[in-house]
Chains A and B, each alone.
Chain A
């Protein structure tokens, strides 16, 4: 089946530094990838929709200059948290959309736990 990986699985960084998270679709091409943020026992909060070769579409309230998204290829999207602060500590999950015929199926990555000290 379709597999989505994320790297790193966890990261600890100092306040003010930038962190890049990669999301890869391993065995399929994904024209659309999604980035989510999740707090414990809460729903996935959509941050942005990433389309290959174009600018990401950010949800209301998400700072595009702080959360930089690059979807350079059909199998890779990256999320860079710039100048990270402790309030950015969270679980970040990506998903990749696979289109087959008239249906779209989302496959989720395992998540990246970011802790900002």
Chain B
């Protein structure tokens, strides 16, 4: 069946270092969405990418959608303690169902 693989599962970084999480879909997506879940919280919608090759920025966050609309990445520049949480991608196909990645947990080392 359709799958979205997300890596890495965990990433430990020093505050100020960069962070990247990657998602790869087994099928072509109509769009991909990114969510952030803080510890103890619930997923907060960050962004939706629709166009092939699209790149969007939100302050220190850069989101990319691959040319084939099968892969995506989220890059955070100069991480801060407020960035801690789990980042999920969710691919959407034409039937509206979401195919969730397993999430990448960002941990800031003290």
Task: List chain A positions with a Cβ less than 8 A from chain B.
Answer: 1-2, 9-10, 34, 36, 41-44, 46, 91, 93, 105-108, 110-111, 113
Q: A44-B42, A44-B43 are in contact. List 10 more A-B contacts (CB 8 A).
A: A2-B102, A9-B97, A10-B96, A36-B43, A41-B33, A42-B45, A44-B45, A93-B98, A107-B102, A108-B100
What DSSP secondary structure best describes chain B's contact surface? strand
Known: A42-B45, A43-B43, A44-B43. A111 touches B98 (CB 8 A): yes
Task: List chain B positions with a Cβ less than 8 A from chain A.
Answer: 33, 35, 37, 42-45, 48, 88, 90, 95-100, 102-103
Report, nearest first, the 5 A-B pairs whose CB atoms are least far apart.
A110-B97, A108-B100, A43-B45, A43-B44, A44-B43
Number of A-B contacts (CB under 8 A): 46
**What are 27 residue pairs bridging A and B, where the CB atoms are less than 8 Å apart in the complex?**
A1-B102, A2-B102, A9-B96, A9-B97, A10-B95, A10-B96, A36-B42, A36-B43, A41-B33, A41-B48, A43-B35, A43-B44, A91-B96, A93-B98, A106-B37, A106-B103, A108-B43, A108-B98, A108-B100, A110-B97, A110-B98, A110-B99, A111-B96, A111-B97, A111-B98, A113-B96, A113-B97
